[in-house]
Structure 1
């Protein structure tokens, strides 16, 4: 990957000090966005934490706080997480804008698509966990305690930490299509391997769904189906990008052959 070099004789190239100035400006933009998002998150922290607690309350959980400062800490924690979620697209864009002058056209398109789909799939993972998985998990975990005759009085800090862990895990899991395409383009994995592993993945996904959901087929399918669709979508994306890569390589080879033919032709040897 070629970057603009430090060459003051060429007016079209940026100097080292110019690179550092651009980098500083982009970092300042990121910091301003993160601080603004944190303040917005702090303003709405009570609304956010109430929505999270309502999920547990609907399943029969009761919540307590174990220290005077616990709620304040949770407000700040949620505001930081909110700032990170809002700031990630800006961080990715600023990184792309800084590197784009040194990228080829195909690399720019691939990087931009990776950023866009990465953000979309990450938020879809959080939404899936919030709407489907977490309610099932809370029901399942509470149901397990009924046999020992204890009531659930969970600290707010532990509960929020549990939810944030689930959100992060599924935000990362839903990046599987993007990671698969990246590894496929680098030649680390092959789409044929993913097709052969389909049956194994189906068993593993349904096994995971059976563990975290109540023992009925409807609940298991509701959790397993999005994961299966994600896996199939990964195979489709890897196939499509693989075709693009082959076509581009074929075009480059043809252009190289044409160039060699021109160099070897009588016209190409005359001055």
Structure 2
């Protein structure tokens, strides 16, 4: 091995280690932001859980209530909900740390695109969760409560099961509302054309209903409440992607070329 090769290998190793150290620091800062938000909220954990469970509590019949079947459930479930809220509050900080880590390796035109995408992704995820909380939950719970009444069944849900259901639904709707961002990225990166997106529209509609049938409760109402917004958001993505479609005059700039 020549001296130049040894120096080059040493430089690559140092660069790799420096990236690892930077990644560690970014993860620590992101985790600290989440922990700080959680510590600030933990005192109100019971109130946060009550607000979290409000859509179900309002749909329960007179005398209906939530139950606890696990000895530690009444403590850990509110803590989990509070941690979820803390994560959502700290998510901009987490995204910033991620952005600060990957930005040096991006092309200039990618840096200009990534910040609007991060902001819109966060906003759309929150909108998706809000859609589930304010529209889907009350609608589905009222439907199930009325469906149980003729059966003579008492609707009493364990808080841990409710948490699992709510988390799955939040995640499903949060990701679903990211469809416009995905469409814009695919078009901007030249991976698919606007004409192709329009061509596969019928398959997207069918796929939306298949996805809704898999990730939502087994009732037609909740499936429609997920599938229809997914299709509409796909159309919105096509509309917005018109402004981000790559042009022949676009030039790629190598990171650091202008420095």
Same fold (TM over 0.5): yes
Q: Which residue of 2 aligns with 1:43?
A: 43
Q: Which residue of 1 aligns with 2:163?
A: 160
Correspondences of 1:136-215 after superposition (within 5 Å)? 136-198=139-201, 211-212=220-221
Which region of structure 1 is more displaced relative to structure 2, 186-195 or 149-158?
A: 186-195
SS of residue paired to 2:70? coil
Report the Cα offset of residue 110 of structure 1: 1.4
SS of residue paired to 2:59? coil
Q: Does 1:236 align with 2:239?
A: yes
What CA distance in whole angstroms lies between the structure 2 residues aligned with 1:23 and 1:197?
A: 39
**Radius of gyration: which is bigger?**
1
Verify the 8 A CA contact 2:183 2:234 in the aligned structure 1: no
Normalising by structure 1, report the TM-score: 0.73
Normalising by structure 2, report the TM-score: 0.76
Correspondences of 1:218-237 after superposition (within 5 Å)? 226-237=229-240
Where does structure 2 lack aligned partners over 5 or more consecutive residues? 1-6, 9-13, 214-218, 253-259
Verify the 8 A CA contact 2:188 2:244 in the aligned structure 1: yes
Deviations, residues 85-131 of structure 1 (Å, cap 9, x unaligned): 22332222112112222322211011112211111110010010011
Verify the 8 A CA contact 2:34 2:90 in the aligned structure 1: yes
Which region of structure 1 is more displaced relative to structure 2, 162-171 or 188-197?
A: 188-197
Q: Larger relative CO (CA 8 A, sep 6+): 1 or 2? A: 2
Where does structure 1 lack aligned partners over 5 or more consecutive residues? 1-5, 8-14, 215-219, 254-271
Q: Which residue of 1 aligns with 2:108?
A: 105
Verify the 8 A CA contact 1:40 1:79 in the aligned structure 2: no
What CA distance in whole angstroms lies between the structure 2 residues aligned with 1:26 and 1:43?
A: 27
CA distance 1:107–1:201, change in 2 (3 Å)? closer
Q: Which residue of 2 aligns with 1:11?
A: none
Deviations, residues 142-197 of structure 1 (Å, cap 9, x unaligned): 23323321110111111122111111110011111111222233444332233234
What CA distance in whole angstroms lies between the structure 2 residues aligned with 1:81 and 1:175?
A: 19
What CA distance in whole angstroms lies between the structure 2 residues aligned with 1:200 and 1:98?
A: 37
- How many residues end up aligned between the 2 structures? 231
Which region of structure 1 is more displaced relative to structure 2, 142-151 or 108-117?
A: 142-151
What CA distance in whole angstroms lies between the structure 1 residues aligned with 2:242 and 2:38?
A: 40
